[in-house]
Structure 1
């Protein structure tokens, strides 16, 4: 059965890169630029993994991860956080919010796919 991945990324180029890469590895992908649609889309799409940008307009990725993990229907879905802002303590805050994995941008294809496969 094909694994499904929800990509949440506001940058058009990154969203396309992640989606194309995942599709090339035979994943079914739904992609969002707007974090305000994450919860409803996750409920409808039922992903096996959520790839979450941390710096999003309107609502931050950390807040979204916490909301996903607080939702009984969604909390078991692993979240891989992806961010360009990899400052001291950021990984700890991201993991405390509930993300199972953390990858910093710019992403390299091999480590990105290894992180995806490790969660699935």
Structure 2
């Protein structure tokens, strides 16, 4: 069973995603802002992080950069979740260190494929 950290400030998105991922057999950890996300990633060492980019306290861009710069969390794959589907946003996510990118509203089947592909790369599935 893989451990996924969901960093998301929107309660409705958190509930929907965590329930659906748990049904697929994943253990879900939840953080509501970037600062909490970094602390949980360091403490729990999840197999994958779903990172909302528009977060309070510390945004997803900054949180991702800090996680990728830290020796203890740099290998954890991060999928950016963003409603910002503007030209250049995808590149911005990759520049921050994200391993993949998905847009909101989340299309669950597509997101699940991305999660499973990254977990397979990590030999977690």
Q: Which interval holds the TM-score relative to the shorter structure?
A: over 0.9
**Alignment map for 1:6-85 (pairs within 5 Å):** 6-85=5-84
Name the residue aligned to 1:113.
112
TM-score normalised by structure 1 residue count: 0.96
SS of 1:58 mapped into structure 2: coil
TM-score normalised by structure 2 residue count: 0.92
Name the residue aligned to 1:89.
88
CA RMSD of aligned residues (A): 0.8
SS of 1:102 mapped into structure 2: strand
In 1, Cα distance between equivalents of 2:42 and 2:91: 27
In 2, Cα distance between equivalents of 1:111 and 1:5: 16
Structure 2, unpaired ranges of 5+: 120-125
SS of 1:13 mapped into structure 2: helix
In 2, Cα distance between equivalents of 1:34 and 1:96: 20
Residue correspondences, number: 119
Structure 1, unpaired ranges of 5+: none
SS of 2:6 mapped into structure 1: strand
Q: Deviations over 1:12-65 (max 9, x none)?
A: 000111111110100011011122112221121110000000000121100010
Which 4+ runs in 1 deviate beyond 3 A? none
In 2, Cα distance between equivalents of 1:78 and 1:41: 15
Q: Deviations over 1:71-114 (max 9, x none)?
A: 00100000000001111100001001110000000111210111
In 2, Cα distance between equivalents of 1:90 and 1:15: 22
